[in-house]
Structure 1
Amino acid sequence: MPTPAPALASPRKPIHLLRALLRESSYLPDATARLYFRRYVVSRFKAYHPRENATASVRVQAVERYRHQGFKRRQLAIIHERTRPLLRKGQKALNFLRRANQGEIPCLQKVLFFAYGRMGKRKYALLDNLLRPDPIMDNSAPPPDMGYPTPLQALYYSNERCLQFFDAPKPSSSKTHYTIEISNRYSRLRAVVRSQHQKGLGLHKEIKSPYLKTPINNIWERPMPINRARNNVRRWYAKTLTKLLPPLPSDEWDNIHAMMVGEKRISLVKRRERGLDASLEAATEDERFASAVEAAIALDKPSRADKPAGMQRPHAVTPKFMRKLYTSILVLCCKLEYDEQHKAWKAVWGERLKHIKTSLYTVPTDESLFAGVDSKGRLLQTAKEHDVDRSSRVQPRNAEGEYVRFPFFTDYLPADHPLQKELHDWKRKRAAVAQAEKRKVPGGAAPP
Structure 2
Amino acid sequence: MRQYVLQRFRSYSVKTPGQHNDPTFADRLNSKYAEARQAVGLLRRANEGERRPLLRVLFMAYGRTGKRRHELMLPLLSKAGQEELQGLVRTERDGTGRGPASGVGLEDPPPRNPTAEGVNRGQWAPYAPGLTPQMRALLQSQIRNPPPNLTRPTLRRLQPRIEELNSWRQPMPRSRVKNQTKKWYADLLGKVHPPLPTDEWNRLRGLVTGAVPAGMVHRRKPLAKPGPNALELLVKFGKPNIGAAPGNRDAHRITPRFMRRMWAQVFSQCPLMEWDAERQEWKVTWGQHALYGLGRERKRKHSVERAESRGDDDDPLLGALWLSGGTTDETEQMDDFDQSDFWD
**TM-score grouping bracket, smaller chain normalisation:** 0.5 to 0.7
Alignment partner of 1:127 is 2:67: no
Gapped runs of 5+ residues in structure 1?
1-36, 52-57, 59-72, 138-142, 158-167, 172-176, 281-303, 366-373, 379-448
Alignment match of 2:154 (pick from 194, 202, 206): 206
SS in 2 for 1:332: coil
Alignment match of 1:234 (pick from 177, 182, 204): 182
SS in 2 for 1:155: coil
Distance in 1 between the 2:188 and 2:309 partners? Answer: 54
Change (3 A) 1:276 1:375: closer
Which deviations, in whole Å up to 9, do the C-alpha atoms of 1:185-212 show, x marking residues without a partner? Answer: 7101111111112222332421121122
Which deviations, in whole Å up to 9, do the C-alpha atoms of 1:248-291 show, x marking residues without a partner? Answer: 112111111121122211121112234589xx9xxxxxxxxxxx
Alignment partner of 1:43 is 2:7: yes
Change (3 A) 1:377 1:225: closer
Distance in 1 between the 2:124 and 2:142 partners? Answer: 14
Which deviations, in whole Å up to 9, do the C-alpha atoms of 1:299-348 show, x marking residues without a partner? Answer: xxxxx9x6423xxx211212221111111111111121111222111221
The count of corresponding residues between Structure 1 and Structure 2 is: 261
SS in 2 for 1:212: coil
Change (3 A) 1:48 1:215: closer
Alignment partner of 1:345 is 2:287: no
Change (3 A) 1:170 1:251: farther
The TM-score, its normalising length taken from structure 2, stands at: 0.63
1:403 match? none
Question: What does 1:41-440 align with in structure 2 at a 5 Å threshold?
Answer: 41-50=5-14, 80-82=26-28, 84-132=30-78, 135=101, 150-151=108-109, 154-156=111-113, 178-180=120-122, 186-201=132-147, 202=149, 203-218=151-166, 222-274=170-222, 307-309=247-249, 313-351=250-288, 352-353=291-292, 354-355=295-296, 356=298, 358=301, 362=306, 375=329
With CA pairs under 8 Å and 6+ residues apart, which has the higher RCO, 1 or 2? Answer: 2
Distance in 2 between the 1:115 and 1:234 partners? Answer: 29
Distance in 1 between the 2:12 and 2:155 partners? Answer: 38
Q: Does the 8 Å contact 2:116/2:164 carry over to 1? A: no
Distance in 1 between the 2:21 and 2:283 partners? Answer: 49
Deviation at 1:44, TM superposition (A): 2.0
Instruction: Specify the code of the residue in structure 2 equivalent to 1:151.
Output: P
Instruction: Specify the code of the residue in structure 2 equivalent to 1:252.
Output: E
Larger CA Rg, structure 1 vs 2: 1
Deviation at 1:150, TM superposition (A): 4.3
Deviation at 1:238, TM superposition (A): 1.1
Deviation at 1:234, TM superposition (A): 1.1
Distance in 1 between the 2:132 and 2:331 partners? Answer: 56
Instruction: Specify the code of the residue in structure 2 equivalent to 1:308.
Output: N
Deviation at 1:226, TM superposition (A): 1.6
Tell me whether 324-333 or 212-221 shows the greater mean CA deviation: 212-221
SS in 2 for 1:126: helix
Tell me whether 201-210 or 322-331 shows the greater mean CA deviation: 201-210
Q: Does the 8 Å contact 1:182/1:211 carry over to 2? A: no
Instruction: Specify the code of the residue in structure 1 equivalent to 2:158.
Output: P
SS in 1 for 2:121: strand
Gapped runs of 5+ residues in structure 2?
80-99, 227-243, 311-327, 333-344
Distance in 2 between the 1:218 and 1:170 partners? Answer: 13
Deviation at 1:182, TM superposition (A): 8.3
Deviation at 1:364, TM superposition (A): 6.2
Change (3 A) 1:79 1:50: farther
Distance in 1 between the 2:167 and 2:34 partners? Answer: 51
Q: Does the 8 Å contact 1:48/1:74 carry over to 2? A: no
Which deviations, in whole Å up to 9, do the C-alpha atoms of 1:326-384 show, x marking residues without a partner? Answer: 1111111112111122211122111234334545854969xxxxxxxx94569xxxxxx
SS in 1 for 2:195: coil
Q: CA RMSD in A?
A: 3.9
Distance in 1 between the 2:60 and 2:201 partners? Answer: 15
Deviation at 1:243, TM superposition (A): 1.4
